[in-house]
Chain A
Amino acid sequence: MSLGAVTGSGSLVATALGGQEGAGAGFQPVLPWLILALPLLGAAVNGAGAFLWRDDKRIPTIVGPAALLGSFAVVLLNFIAMSGAEPHGAAVVGLWNWIVSGDLRIGVDLQFDPLSMLMCMIVTGVGSLIHVYSVGYMRDDPGYSRYFSYLNLFVFFMLVLVLGASFPLMFVGWEGVGLCSYLLIGFWYENREYANAGKKAFIMNRIGDAGFLVAMFLIFTAFGTLDFIPVFEAAEGTLAYGGALVTGITLLLFLGCTGKSAQIPLHTWLPDAMAGPTPVSALIHAATMVTAGVYLIARTSVLFALSPVSQGVVAAVGAGTALFAASIAIRQYDIKKVLAYSTISQLGYMFLAVGVGAFTAGVFHLMTHAFFKALLFLGAGAVIHAVHHAWAHGEDGHGDARHGDPNDMRNHGGLRKYMPRTFVFMWVATLAIAGVPPLAGFFSKDEIIWYSGVYGTPILWGVALATAVLTAVYMARLMVMTFHGRNRTFGHGGVAEAGRRLHEVPAVMWAPLALLAVLSVVGGWANIPEALPLLPTVEWLHHWLEPVFAPAIAVKEAHGFAPEYRAPAGGGEALWAGVSAAIAIAAVVGTVRALSPKPVPTEAESEAPTGFARVLHDKWYVDELYDRAIVRPSLALWRACWRIVDAGLIDGAVNGAGRAARLLGWAGGQLQTGRVTTYLVAFMLGALLVLGVLS
């Protein structure tokens, strides 16, 4: 497709959108289709490679990361172009018509606005780093080419999700990332448990997707269109403020979000998703997939602004999930599980933010979280990689089975000596997520805490603060168990052996970590609060996203939204920023002090936890509850259906038809004796019949 045709149809759509054209006039997207085409092409090439050149790792090594880096370059160009244009409104680029039926037109249209551009930057930027890292991490995997194919496809669908200018196109991406998460979580499908984890993710997502789908139907009946811009423009006039319809739509959309973004009650798939390769976890948790829910609410902020009930639900679920997941993370031993619950908790923060109406804060935290969570996961991957290779190196290749689980932090310890770079980067990320200034997490999280108090209720504010403490504690615990103390990889007495075998990861793996560490430091400076004007970028992100969220804020303000900028316990933003920073620092230091002297038992030595610790270790028994309440009854029901309906009725009918046919055939066969006499009699009778009819 030529660029002329693209911009031509794009201007056609823009004309149809009327008033929006003026806003986007200053910005014309550059090569917009290339952003999507490159990852898709990469996925196709690598997918073909999985069959055609299985053992040749050069092509996926080049094509996989290059597709993403190319896409990132185009996104960057557009980002710069959009920054230059004032005001940077929405530009919709129509690629082609997808569904045209009667008055309905659903096009493959891409929406370029500040929000989607920011998301694209995160997706392609962090995604590129993860791709580069994967080159090192997956080097020895036989499914190398397949892996990069899935990874590219994942990013492609995430970009479709983010760039889609209508609900159906977004849904395509939404389902696509669900599919890719299934493929990647179950990447090592030979392991039944891993394959089941993939299925679990897929099915949990399906529940949420049903909500999204129904919400889409409701929107279509209400508006007669599914394109974002017309829907949001007509929202205030069509839907009554606080009405049942808008509440229903938004709650159903939020159900979709809980599935995709792993919020209560559909959060259980995310910890199990750790079955996939670690860079995949980084991709799912940081750049793609789980952020989709937050993005959806940010995108449909106007609709949510119209329903205070839904906003309350979103904020409450977000806050609840944040605290709940953080409490679980404290007692986990699997390094990736800690990070998984950390992600759920941080996503809870984001939902809390968008729930109380601080949309910018939510998206801001989404961005900073993408940086430090990617860093944490890739760092954890480096640790796992190192331990795994230390065990496997020089042995019969089944080191894991002999030693235990390379993910288990009880098998780590003292790694700072062997992996100094990773150690530094991980501490940067830990301090960032814990909210220590001036790292990224401090600014974004503090903003959420602040707005949850200002826009929300004292309870939400309290929960947010408590979660901040827990976050610092579990992250510090992770660091202490992994990098400090004595090494336990080869048992308590195996330090010498560990020194020989544990090594820092190669440059292709730590270089992305370094970049992410830089981003984790400076990422938060994109939105310095007005109360702390330390840098010239005060409220930069807020201004950047203002065109997207202004309608929603306007709706809220029109219905009596006039917050008083004071914390529930009194005091201004600067004061409470200082307080939360102090809390974070105190929690980190306190945890390190408290845990460091204690020797950690190895995996084999440790006893099962008791009391409340056990409840946390066993994740509040949510999985067990679902198993008892939903999975087993449904299984029993479906088993009954299988036995009675399928095996009895359907198979009976099918087999019966077969048996009847065979019986008829047998009866017919009996007529065929092969003896002339039989045929003669039949022939005579036939002749008689013909003559009888004639006469």
Chain B
Amino acid sequence: MIQDFLFQAFAASAILGAVIMVTRRNPVSAVIFLVGVFFATSGMFLMLDAHYIAAINVILYGGAIMVLFLFVLMLLNLGHADWRDLRGPVGGLVGGSISIAFLGVLTRLFVGGADARPVVEIAGGALREAAAEQGVVGVVARPLFQEYVIVLEVTGVLLLVAIVGTILLARGERT
């Protein structure tokens, strides 16, 4: 019961944080609220028996990536509010309508998707049992290094390319 309460609290704070994040004019406070959203979703991951994901979500997103954002803001000296940042009524109308359309479509999609039969029938609490058996890391790591090892390696190459590209781009025009 306390878990359900916590879950719903996390959900509410995630939505709330997201709304605040989108409406902040100051980029630094937007970053801070986004970190908050990430923490909240991490909490939800925990409640959904995805312990490992919850952990790397905090470390990778909430930690590394958002620090990167803050660092860039600092580097470019953009850490102050800019009144031009938010669009006017027309932009709001367009953005809002598209956003609401997305909400409708996604809701329909999720509900409709629930109609389909599960590809793999898993009994309730199966993930939790597997995690108890193999450990929270092992339950993710085993398929990752067995079935998806090639994908993993390719992702590694992608990251390498991203690193090279980033260095090249950020280095500037020096030859």
B111 CB to nearest chain A CB (Å): 9
Which chain B residues lie closer than 8 Å to A685 at the CB level? 98
B81 within 8 A of A: no
The distance in angstroms between the C-alpha atoms of A555 and B135, with both chains bound, is 119
Q: Which of B102-128 contact A (CB under 8 A)?
A: 102, 105-106, 108-109, 112
Chain B 2-22 per-residue mask, 1 if CB under 8 angstroms from chain A, else 0: 000000000000000000000
Give the distance in Å from the alpha carbon of A134 to the alpha carbon of B106 in the complex. 94
Q: List 17 A-B contacts (CB under 8 A).
A: A681-B94, A681-B98, A684-B98, A684-B102, A685-B98, A688-B98, A688-B101, A688-B102, A691-B102, A691-B105, A691-B106, A691-B109, A692-B105, A694-B109, A695-B105, A695-B109, A695-B112
Compute how far the CA of A691 lies from the CA of B101 in the bound complex, rounded to whole angstroms.
Answer: 10
Residue of B nearest to A688 (CB): B101
Judging by beta carbons under 8 Å apart, are B98 and A695 in contact? Answer: no
- 1/0 per residue, CB under 8 A from B, across A669-695: the answer is 000000000000100110010011011
Q: Known contacts A694-B109, A695-B112; can you find 15 more A-B pairs with CB under 8 A?
A: A681-B94, A681-B98, A684-B98, A684-B102, A685-B98, A688-B98, A688-B101, A688-B102, A688-B105, A691-B102, A691-B105, A691-B106, A691-B109, A695-B108, A695-B109
Q: Which residues of B contact A691 (CB under 8 A)?
A: 102, 105-106, 109
Query: B151-165: which have CB < 8 Å to A?
Result: none
Residues of B within 8 A of A688 (CB): 98, 101-102, 105
Minimal beta-carbon separation of A684 from chain B (angstroms): 5
Q: What residues on A are CB-neighbors of B101 within 8 Å? A: 688
Tell me the complex Cα distance, A685–B105, Å: 12
- Bound-complex Cα distance A385 to B148 (A): 99
Q: Is chain A's interface secondary structure helix, strand, loop, or mixed overall?
A: helix
Interface size class of B (residues with CB under 8 A): under 10
Q: How far is the CB of B10 from chain A (nearest CB, A)?
A: 26
Q: Taking the nearest CB of chain B, how far is it from the CB of A422, in angstroms?
A: 88
- Complex Cα spacing A684 to B105, Å: 12
* Chain B residues whose CB sits within 8 angstroms of the CB of A695 once the complex forms: 105, 108-109, 112
Chain B residues closer than 8 Å to A684, beta-carbon distance: 98, 102
Closest CB of chain A to B103's CB: distance in Å? Answer: 11
**Can you list the 3 inter-chain pairs with the closest CB atoms, starting with the nearest?**
A695-B109, A695-B108, A691-B105
- B95 CB to closest chain A CB (Å) equals 8
Number of residues of chain A lying within 8 A (CB) of chain B: 8
A residues 645-691 near B (Cβ < 8 Å) are: 681, 684-685, 688, 691
**A residues less than 8 Å from B98 (CB atoms):** 681, 684-685, 688
Least CB distance from A273 to B in Å reads 76
A690 to chain B: closest residue by CB: B105
Interface string of B34-71 (1 = CB under 8 A from A): 00000000000000000000000000000000000000
Which B residues are closer than 8 A to A by beta carbons? 94, 98, 101-102, 105-106, 108-109, 112
Cα distance A126–B106 in the bound complex, in angstroms: 97
Distance of A26 Cα from B47 Cα, bound (Å): 117
Q: Bound state CA distance, A365 and B39, in angstroms?
A: 118
Chain A residues with CB under 8 A of B102: 684, 688, 691
Task: List, in ascending order, chain A residues with CB within 8 A of B108's CB.
Answer: 695
Give the distance in Å from the alpha carbon of A684 to the alpha carbon of B101 in the complex: 10
What is the CA–CA distance of A692 and B104 in the complex, to the nearest angstrom?
9
Set of chain A residues within 8 Å of B106, measured between Cβ atoms = 691
Query: Which residues does chain B contribute within 8 Å of A694, judged by CB atoms?
Result: 109
In the assembled complex, the Cα of A691 lies from the Cα of B94 at a distance in Å of: 18
Chain A residues 202-245 with CB under 8 Å of chain B are: none
CB distance from B99 to the nearest CB of A (A): 9
Distance in Å: Cβ of B120 to nearest Cβ of chain A? 21
Shortest CB–CB separation between residue B165 and chain A, in angstroms?
19
Give A681 to B92 CA distance when docked, in angstroms.
12
User: What is the CA–CA distance of A543 and B105 in the complex, to the nearest angstrom?
Assistant: 105
Q: In the assembled complex, how far is the CB of residue B49 from the closest CB belonging to chain A, in whole angstroms?
A: 27
The docked-state distance in angstroms from the alpha carbon of A338 to that of B71 is 105
Q: How far is the CB of A680 from chain B (nearest CB, A)?
A: 10
Q: Which residues of A contact B112 (CB under 8 A)?
A: 695
What residue of chain B has the Cβ atom nearest to residue A692's Cβ? B105
Measured in the bound complex, the distance between the Cα atoms of B154 and A73 in whole Å is 86
Nearest-neighbor residue (CB-CB) of B108 within chain A: A695
> In this complex, which of B98, B101, B105, B108 has the most chain A Cβ atoms within 10 angstroms of its Cβ?
B105
In the complex, the chain A residue whose C-beta lies closest to that of B98 is A684
Distance from B106 Cβ to chain A, minimum over Cβ atoms (Å): 7
The smallest C-beta distance from A686 to any residue of chain B, in angstroms, reads 11
Within the complex, the shortest CB–CB distance from A676 to chain B, in Å, comes to 13
Give the distance in Å from the alpha carbon of A691 to the alpha carbon of B109 in the complex. 8
Name the residue of chain A whose CB is nearest to the CB of B94. A681
- Least CB separation from A689: chain B residue: B105
**Nearest-CB residue, chain B, relative to A694:** B109
Q: A688 to B106, alpha carbons, bound, how many Å? A: 9
Question: How far, in whole Å, are A681 and B101 apart by their CA atoms in the complex?
Answer: 13
Which residues from chain A contact B109 at a C-beta distance below 8 Å?
A: 691, 694-695
CA distance A223 to B64 in the complex (A): 97
Q: In the complex, what residue of chain B is closest to A691 when comparing beta carbons?
A: B105
B173 to chain A: closest CB distance in Å?
Answer: 22
Looking at the assembled complex, report how far the CB atom of A694 sits from the nearest CB atom of chain B, in whole angstroms: 7
Shortest Cβ gap from B69 to chain A (Å): 18
Report Cα–Cα, A69/B88, bound state, in Å.
96
Minimum Cβ distance to chain A for residue B113 (Å): 8
Contacts of A681 in B (CB 8 A): 94, 98
Choose among A681, A692, A695 the residue with the greatest number of B CB atoms under 10 Å from its CB: A695
C-alpha gap A433/B115 in the complex (Å): 111
Chain B residues whose CB sits within 8 angstroms of the CB of A692 once the complex forms: 105
A685, B94: Cα distance in complex, Å: 11
Please measure, in the bound complex, the distance between the C-alpha atom of A591 and the C-alpha atom of B94, giving whole angstroms. 107
* Bound Cα distance A247, B109 (Å): 87
